[in-house]
Structure 1
Amino acid sequence: MAEATFSRRVRLLDAQQYKAVFDDAPFRVSTRELLFLSRPNSLPVPRLGLVISKKSCRLAVQRNRVKRLVRESFRQHQGSLTGLDIIVLSRRGIAELDNHTLTQLITQSWTRLLKRSQTAAPGNSDASSAS
């Protein structure tokens, strides 16, 4: 079983790591409130980066709640997301969602992201362009 903590080794830590995902993210999952960008990495663990803007959540307490829920869901799903660098971006309207709805949305997005990353064979460019 994968380690269920959010340690440094499962986080995107610097601008270069974020830029690599932003520049080349073959797997994308989009909802009205969240955008998941992902690319394969060569590590045995997935890594997560969060971009929760003031534009989408004005109050710090709202941004912290969103980050906490995404991190918790990531910890629970990191065993199945192995080998991916993932960035989660917030969009307007996310602050209005209650915890239960937001958790369901995040869980559905992990499932969709996992399907897209698993169906993308090394030579299959069709699967990576699906949104």
Structure 2
Amino acid sequence: MRYDRTVHLDTDFATAVARTRDALAAQGFGILTEIDVTATLKTKLGRAAEDMEDYVILGACNPPLAHRALDVDRTIGLLLPCNVVVRRDGDRTAVQALDPDTMVTLTGSDALRPVAEEAGRRLDAALADLTATDLKS
């Protein structure tokens, strides 16, 4: 089972992170958290994490969608916000979003399906915007 939606960009890491933030914002997502995994692992593990590629986790949230999901199932907060990973992948930068259908699959709740579908459409639009912008560069 795939649980991600991934695009690859031919751009540097910092540009990819900034463009990802903008693309998510255009679809109604705010960034609640940002975890610089590379820096955190280097701080905590030192030399053991020296070869870690650039890797950031953006905790994105669309408040109306989060509210609808929480109205269906209060424990769904365990799966919120939508995590979006931006990481170096060889000479390219990967942008990966958690597939919102995972909420439905893990909970077995069909009542979450409309929320997952709308979140999926919005995430797909953000990812499509990134690849369209990448083609123009």
TM class by shorter-chain length?
A: 0.3 to 0.5
Between structure 1 and structure 2, the one with the greater Rg is 2
The structure where helix makes up a greater share of residues is: 2
TM-score by length of 2: 0.34
